[in-house]
Amino acid sequence: MQVSFTSAEILDLVRPQETRGATDALIVGIGALASAGPGELSFLGNPKFRAEAAASRASVLLLPLDYVGEPAAGQLHLLVADPSAALDRICQRIEQMLWPQPLAGNHPSAVVDASAKLGEGVTIGPLCIVEAGAEIGPRTHLQAQVFVGRNARLGEGCWLMPGAVVTAECVLGNRVRLHPGVVVGSDGFGYTFVQGRHEKVPQVGDVIIEDDVEVGANTTIDRARFSRTRIGAGTKIDNQVQIAHNVVIGKHCILCAQVGISGSTQLEDYVILGGQAGVAGHLTIGKGAKSGGAAAITSSVPAGTFVNGSPARTYMLERRLQVLFQRLPELFKRVGELEEQIKLSSA
């Protein structure tokens, strides 16, 4: 980052209960206790790293109230109730500096249809396209090179980053964030096999993404055959996730990178899928169910269940089976020895 803070600015953000020592270094970075050096800030989030805090060369340290120890020369200790929360306040400030609120209005290079309805404080950045009949809610920001198709509707305070695509008729709630390269509303993958050829089944439904959903870079979400592909409020989706047509995802789910969800599958609320997990079509993943990374989920998962493996099984069963799998050489040997003994005893 190219932003920087003086000690005074940090004190103002953190408001520590106690300070020890002082530094006149300009803080230009944040680092882990062991790697941070002069001009950087670090923090003791986990008590087990106390020794690393004592040895840290960072110019500013965020420490818990019960921390015992004196700062090195030119080092400032800030004692706070919750060092991680204090760090978050600094990071939020940096976030505002890195991505300042854009000025409202349409960049002259944007192509915005005259029939589009733009709310108050909307920013349409350079080289964006907004097609006929689209509605963009107040303070929503199309950053750059974004595409919003015919009659698409976006809520308030959304942020669509460079190259994001929302195709015709799709709907975004409020405060939805689409990272670069996201595609919302590509056709579902449906064909019927007729006389040796795959004939396209029309995909005329749409996608609705509810409030406070964040979608990672290059993720793709297909429109429904008819009706709607739905992403529930508060769900967070990582990069390169694939969500097929007619999938229904509940509220506050977490889908890690490269997850794939096949058509018409339903995830209830609070489901968590590890990276590269795949879910077959027409299944139900119950409320609060979880999967490990790379799990291949081929049947429905009851609520609250943790599954793992390829094919996925309940976590404890899979763990036990993997342990026994590693013992197969031993088992083959034991069976061979038994056979030997039987042969001898019957000889």
Quick one: residue 346, left, alpha or beta (phi over 0 = left, psi -120 to 50 = alpha)?
A: alpha
- The residue (of 19 and 239) whose beta carbon lies closer to a copy of itself is 239
Choose the catalytic residue: 77, 141, 245, 252: 245
- The residue (of 50 and 150) whose beta carbon lies closer to a copy of itself is 150
- The residue (of 122 and 128) whose beta carbon lies closer to a copy of itself is 128
Min dist. Cβ of residue 188 to a copy of itself (A):
9
196-202-205 Cα angle (round to 5): 150
Q: Is residue 302 classed as helix, strand or coil in its secondary structure?
A: coil
Query: Tokens at residue 292, please?
Result: 């490990």
* 311 preceded by a cis bond (ω within 30 of 0): yes
The residue whose two tokens read 């990582």 is 238
The residue whose two tokens read 């990069």 is 239
- The residue (of 69 and 132) whose beta carbon lies closer to a copy of itself is 132
Q: Is residue 226 classed as helix, strand or coil in its secondary structure?
A: coil
Checking DSSP bridges between strand 236-237 and strand 18-21, what pairing results, if any? unpaired
DSSP-assigned letter for residue 130: E
Active site residue 245: yes
Query: Tokens at residue 204, please?
Result: 């005329």
- Catalytic residues, by residue number, are 245
